[in-house]
């Protein structure tokens, strides 16, 4: 396990040795293989709950997602004694059922984004130790969630993930905000840290703020910790590891990608997203694709009649390496990826870069 020079952090009683949360990536990208490997290296390994019931050849019925999630958590638990989380999108039509299932399986942390998880504490049974961590894109959203949880449930979030506009996948920003310097993650993090501070005093405990979106190196990790974050969330770099659960052709798309291949798309779920440009997306943009029906009914905001394709079908195809009928989400710095590595080597590289940055800044 890599050495992080005192950069460990806590979420409640959970001690995380490495200041790294592996971002949850659906559909099928971060499952038990990747999550357990990251947890074994001292970070938080995160399963994605999105479409988990479809991956084993299921029919797409929402009840299969619960069974699929139980199986993934059990398998991951058999592979690690480290800290495991589940990423559950608030926009999922079965958000409540999946959250309850994760808690029943005693998952360590639930990360909830793609909407405000205002009711999440209501699903937490008495005696449950699962930590609840909203994913937000602004200090205003963090304050709104914390105030609501405290008022309605007498519960304060255990941590926050703050996702900036350089993230991959669906983005919590308007298209015109994505390249606006005022919405850079570096500007958002200190505001969220300040907004969270009064709730730390109320709770009598630390509430870690986790920076996410565009973080690529150990030097980046150091920089965000200096801005007040307790840890970072990284996703793109974990895709190109041997342990990542996606098909090798999916990973190779990252290796082959350059900056000019990355674009912002309009997703059928009504949000902008960052993806690798390919023929599938080109055809969709030109009106060449239309879903005949909606077999999954997975996202509450998805408008089948207006969408150019089924987002779940496209992402399942991509995960399986069928990029002719799907596409790949990627972070803004994905063009810097050059090779497939292992989780262990990646974490060692990040830790080494972090330690070197610490030493450099102590000297200067």
Residue-wise pLDDT tens for the chain (364 aa)? 888 988 999 999 999 999 999 999 988 999 999 999 999 999 999 999 988 877 765 545 555 788 999 999 999 999 999 999 999 999 888 899 999 999 999 999 999 988 899 999 999 999 999 999 999 999 999 999 999 999 999 999 999 999 999 999 989 899 999 999 999 999 999 999 999 999 999 999 999 999 999 999 999 999 999 999 999 999 999 999 999 999 999 999 999 999 999 999 988 888 899 999 999 999 988 876 665 565 555 665 556 656 678 888 899 999 999 999 999 999 999 999 999 999 999 999 999 999 999 999 988 7
pLDDT in tens, 10-27: 999 999 999 999 999 988
Domain ranges of the chain: 9-246+339-363, 248-325
Residues 6+ apart with CB under 8 A from 196: 142, 146, 160, 207, 209
CATH homologous superfamily for the domain 9-246+339-363: Aldolase class I (3.20.20.70)
The whole-number pLDDT of residue 304 equals 60
pTM over 0.75: yes
The whole-number pLDDT of residue 34 equals 98
- Spatial CA neighbour of 147 closest among 139, 136, 156, 138: 156
């Amino acid at each position: 396990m890599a050495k992080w020079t005192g950069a460990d952090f806590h979420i409640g009683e959970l001690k995380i040795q490495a200041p790294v949360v592996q971002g949850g990536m659906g559909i099928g990208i971060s499952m038990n293989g990747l999550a357990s490997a990251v947890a074994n290296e001292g970070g938080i390994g995160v399963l994605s709950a999105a479409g988990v019931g479809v991956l084993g050849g299921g029919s797409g019925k929402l009840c299969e997602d619960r069974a699929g999630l139980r199986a993934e958590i059990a398998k991951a638990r058999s592979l690690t004694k480290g800290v495991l989380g589940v990423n559950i999108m608030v926009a999922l039509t079965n958000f409540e059922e999946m959250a309850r299932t994760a808690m029943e399986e005693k998952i360590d942390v639930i990360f909830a984004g793609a909407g405000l998880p205002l009711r999440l504490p209501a699903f937490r049974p008495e005696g449950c130790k699962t930590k609840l961590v909203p994913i937000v894109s602004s200090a205003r959203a963090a304050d709104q969630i914390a105030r609501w949880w405290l008022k309605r449930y007498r519960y304060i979030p255990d941590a926050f993930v703050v996702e900036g506009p350089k993230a991959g996948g669906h983005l919590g920003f308007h298209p015109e905000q994505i390249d606006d310097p005022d919405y850079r993650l570096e500007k958002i993090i200190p505001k969220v840290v300040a907004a969270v501070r009064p709730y730390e005093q109320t709770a009598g405990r630390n509430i870690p703020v986790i920076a996410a979106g565009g973080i690529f190196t150990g030097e980046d990790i150091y920089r965000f910790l200096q801005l007040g974050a307790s840890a970072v969330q990284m996703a793109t770099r974990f895709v190109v590891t041997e342990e990542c659960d996606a098909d090798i052709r999916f990973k190779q798309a990252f290796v082959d990608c350059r900056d000019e291949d990355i674009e912002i798309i309009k997703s059928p779920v009504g949000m902008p997203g960052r993806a690798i440009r390919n023929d599938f997306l080109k055809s969709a943009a030109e009106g060449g694709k239309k879903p005949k029906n909606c077999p999954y009914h997975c996202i509450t905001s998805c408008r089948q009649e207006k969408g150019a394709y089924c987002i779940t079908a496209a992402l399942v195809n991509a995960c399986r390496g069928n990029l002719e009928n799907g596409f790949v989400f990627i972070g803004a710095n994905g063009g810097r990826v050059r090779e497939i590595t292992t989780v262990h080597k990646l974490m060692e590289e990040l830790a080494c870069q972090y330690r070197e940055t610490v030493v450099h800044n102590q000297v200067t």
